[in-house]
């Protein structure tokens, strides 16, 4: 009989005590950054990268994002290689813990990972025909979102990208890690809605 009263008391606490309001955030971040490391570490080029992310953070620690980046000089034009550009569109999951009492001044360190499409291409030149390569790719990394007010802040992160290959096309989906890999850092203004 006492067990029933204990269950009723616990249920009454959950029903009568109001839950803290959960806030879902959409964070839009245009950014600038650079690619480094990986297979292209010793290739000429500055690899400045531009892009934007749209992140949806739920009321807890989990979220999702869609990110696009473009690097106009992935490999710089030389006598033996054409000017090669790179672009990617990735869908990621985010795990981020908000730190701070209110919405203004809040900091959220996070880890992220996901997959999407990576495109490498170059324009036609005197020595080379135009080519492009579209591959699936994975990425993972981490960063921090820091908000100075309720709607404006900064976001910066570092991510690792790796292309995937299908060694036996036509026999189903069987991806393996590809040869192309690199790191990317970026920083940008974050706008929270």
Q: Is the pLDDT of residue 45 over 80?
A: no
Q: 158 lies in a domain?
A: yes
Number of domains in the chain: 1
Q: 47 lies in a domain?
A: yes
Residue 140's pLDDT is what? 97
Position 132 confidence tier, pLDDT thresholds 50, 70, 90: confident
Mean pLDDT estimate for the chain: 80
Residue 177's pLDDT is what? 84
Least confident of 5-14, 50-59, 65-74: 5-14
Q: Is the pLDDT of residue 79 over 80?
A: no
Q: 17 lies in a domain?
A: no
3 state SS of 6: helix
Residue 76's pLDDT is what? 64
C-alpha distance from residue 66 to each of 40, 49, 164, 192 (Å): 25, 16, 19, 15
Q: 151 lies in a domain?
A: yes
Q: Is the pLDDT of residue 101 over 70?
A: no
* CATH number, position 79: 2.40.160.20
Residues 6+ apart with CB under 8 A from 19: none
Q: Is the pLDDT of residue 179 over 90?
A: no
Answering whether pTM is above 0.95, one says: no
Distance CA 102, CA 93 (A): 24
Q: 12 lies in a domain?
A: no
- Quote the tokens at residue 188: 């940008």
Q: 2 lies in a domain?
A: no
Q: Is the pLDDT of residue 152 over 60?
A: yes
Can you tell me the mean pLDDT for 104-115?
Answer: 88
- Full domain range(s) for residue 41: 23-192
Can you tell me the mean pLDDT for 149-156?
Answer: 93
């Amino acid at each position: 009989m006492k067990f029933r009263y204990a269950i009723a008391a616990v249920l009454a606490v959950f029903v009568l005590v109001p839950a803290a309001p959960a806030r879902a955030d959409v964070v839009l971040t245009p950014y600038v950054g650079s690619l480094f490391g990986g297979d292209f570490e010793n290739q000429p080029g500055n690899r400045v990268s531009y892009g934007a992310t749209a992140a949806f953070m739920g009321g807890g620690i989990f979220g999702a994002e869609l990110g696009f980046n473009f690097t106009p000089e992935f490999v710089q034009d030389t006598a033996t290689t054409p000017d090669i550009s790179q672009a990617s569109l990735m869908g990621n999951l985010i795990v981020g813990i908000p730190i701070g009492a209110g919405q203004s001044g809040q900091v959220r360190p996070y880890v992220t990972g996901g997959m999407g499409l990576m495109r490498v291409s170059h324009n036609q030149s005197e020595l080379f025909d135009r080519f492009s390569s579209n591959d699936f790719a994975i990425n993972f990394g981490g960063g921090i979102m820091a908000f100075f007010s309720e709607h404006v802040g900064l976001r910066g992160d570092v991510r690792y990208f790796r292309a995937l290959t299908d060694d036996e096309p036509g026999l189903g989906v069987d991806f393996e890690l590809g040869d192309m890999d690199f790191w990317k850092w970026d920083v940008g203004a974050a706008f929270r809605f």
